[in-house]
Amino acid sequence: MRALMFRERRTMRLEEIPEPTPGPGEAVVRVAACGICGSDLEGYVGTPGMQNRRVPPLLLGHEFSGIVETGPGAWVGKAVAVNPMIACHTCARCRAGQPHLCPERTLIGLDRPGAMAERVAVPTSQLYPLPQGVPTWRGALAEPLAVALHALELAGPLFGRRVLVIGGGAIGFLIAWAAERAGARVRVVEINEARRRLLEELGLLGIPAPEGEAEVTVDTVGIAETRRAALEHLSPGGTAVFLGLHDDESALNFYPLILQERQVQGSYTYTDADFRRAVRLAGEIPEGFFTRLPLAAGAEAFEALAEGQATHLKILLEV
């Protein structure tokens, strides 16, 4: 089958590889679409936070959807989104409803072959049927949307609150979009000119709030400057949510954090409930957010993203 293989830094190749072999309790999904995640891109470029996690050669791809081709009879032929985070379902974290914090968790596209290919084997526990009438390719948007929904869940109630999103990439946009749906007053800060134009068209671009004016800030970038900004623009008693992973360490000023009782919250992936909700909402994400390209154009798409030349916030590779 055809697959877009990550062969070395800044090198993706369309190749023929063996068909997947499903294990017990698994199905084979014929991939409809697979998104290029920021973490995939950081592995491709070799940023500090990802160069030791996404090591080539590797078959990437964890944001995907498709049609179940083989497996238990009840699933065959169904259009599904796939939750790529596989947990043990027996540990204390899993039993507490936090499978994303399972110490034995594995990820499709990292610890096992991903979905930038024609077919992929997945446990049936990770299959989520798409709502009737939602195009199959749209299911690939469920995974990044689940990341956004989880971050906002950790921020607390949003209705009527001022939310500042730092970083207007795919996750930043989805956080802003979901926060607006929840009744928040949202602005996004982004320095990339192409992204700024798109965010402006979508009505989400803004300048940072004055210092101490946002009740929720969300840093989707993860560098020292954006982490500091997330705290500087936070009102007393507000919550800063951090999910950007670009840098491992950053120095922060703890005096205003302590004296103003500001809350600091890390956010990592999503729960099963977050993913289920994202599947229900995937059909409503605005068209201007993404573009669809054939898998054969994947290498060029990765390079365009790496060079900051992509004109859309999310690229879906259709197989």
Look at the chain and count its residues.
319
pLDDT digits (tens, 9 = 90+) for 162-202: 999 999 999 999 999 999 999 999 999 998 887 888 788 87
> Which helix (DSSP H) or strand (DSSP E) does residue 219 occupy?
strand 214-219
pLDDT digits (tens, 9 = 90+) for 139-154: 999 999 999 999 999 9
Mean pLDDT of 221-232: 95
Give the C-alpha separation, 14 to 278, whole Å. Answer: 30
The conformational region for residue 46 under phi > 0 = left, psi -120 to 50 = alpha, else beta, is left
260 pLDDT more than 70: yes
Residues with Cβ within 8 Å of residue 152, at least 6 apart in sequence: 158, 175, 178, 179, 182, 218, 241
- Per the omega criterion (within 30 degrees of 0), is the bond before 22 cis? no
- pTM for the predicted model, two decimal places: 0.95
Give the C-alpha separation, 137 to 291, whole Å. Answer: 11
How far out from the chain centre does Cα 285 lie?
14
CB 121 within 8 A of CB 166: no
- DSSP β-bridge partners for residue 128: 81
Alpha helices for 99-219 (secondary structure H): 142-155, 170-181, 193-201
208 pLDDT more than 80: no
Nearest to 286 by CA among 202, 215, 167: 202
Q: Where along the chain do its domains lie?
A: 2-129+286-318, 146-266
Give the C-alpha separation, 121 to 35, whole Å. Answer: 17
DSSP for 118-151, written as a single string: SEEEEEGGGEEEPPTTS-GGGGGGHHHHHHHHHH
Strands 26-35 and 119-123: antiparallel
Strands 162-166 and 127-129: unpaired
pLDDT digits (tens, 9 = 90+) for 53-78: 888 999 999 999 999 999 988 999 99
Fill in the DSSP letter of residue 282: G
CB 188 within 8 A of CB 173: yes
pLDDT computed for residue 51 by the predictor: 64
pLDDT digits (tens, 9 = 90+) for 77-90: 999 999 999 999 99
Residue with tokens 């990044």: 144
For the domain with range 146-266, which CATH number is right: 3.40.50.720, 3.40.50.2300, 3.50.50.60, 3.40.50.450? 3.40.50.720
Nearest to 221 by CA among 182, 247, 197, 183: 247
CB 168 within 8 A of CB 196: yes
**Is 2-129+286-318 a CATH 3.90.180.10 domain?**
yes
pLDDT computed for residue 223 by the predictor: 94
